[in-house]
A = this chain, B = another copy of it.
Amino acid sequence: MSACELCSQDGGLLVFRRAEFRVIRAADAHFPAFYRVIWNEHVAEWTDLPPAERSLCMQAVAAVETVLREALHPTKINLASLGNVVPHLHWHVIARFGWDSHFPQPVWGEAQRSVAPPAAARLVLPLADLDARVAAALAGLAGH
C-alpha cells in the first residue's frame, strides 16, 4: 500500500482549516479559481461519512461555490468528487469561463485553445483576495 497523497501533502495553498475539513486552492495555471474541500479524516467515498458530516461537507462546497459566483461571475461552476487516483474524499470546486483553455470541456478533457494573457490575470480580483473571501465564508459556517 502506498501512502495517501492527501494525507501527506495537499498540492496547493491552504486557505482554511477546521476540525472536519480543510480547503486549499490548487496550483493550476489553466484554472486559477480552483479550490478543493478536503475531508480531514481519511475516507474514500462521500457516503462513507454519516449524514450530518456529509451535509457539513456540502455546506463547505456550497460556501466556496457561492463566493466564486459572487466574486467572479463565472460562466459555470464545476463540482466533482472523483478520487480515482487519490481515494481520499475531496471535492473540486472550479470556476469556469467561456474563455478558459478547456471550456466547455471538463478540466480533465482536451484543451480547446491557448489563453493569453494568463488566466489568473483575467480574474476581476487578485487570488489572495479571493482566498480571503473563501476563508471568511467558511469561517461563517455553523459549528465553527
Chain A interfacial positions (CB closer than 8 Å to B):
44-47, 51, 54-55, 58, 62, 65-66, 69, 75-85, 87, 96, 103-106, 108-109
The DSSP consensus for interface residues of chain A is mixed
Contact B76 A105, beta carbon cutoff 8 Å? no
Checking B46, B80, B84 against A103 with a beta-carbon cut-off of 8 angstroms, the contacting residue is: B84
Nearest CB in chain B to that of A62: its residue: B47
Contact A65 B45, beta carbon cutoff 8 Å? yes
**Which 6 residue pairs of A and B lie closest in terms of their CB atoms, listed nearest first?**
A84-B104, A80-B80, A106-B108, A79-B81, A108-B109, A78-B82
Could you say which of A66, A77, A83 has the most chain B C-beta atoms within 10 Å of its C-beta?
A77
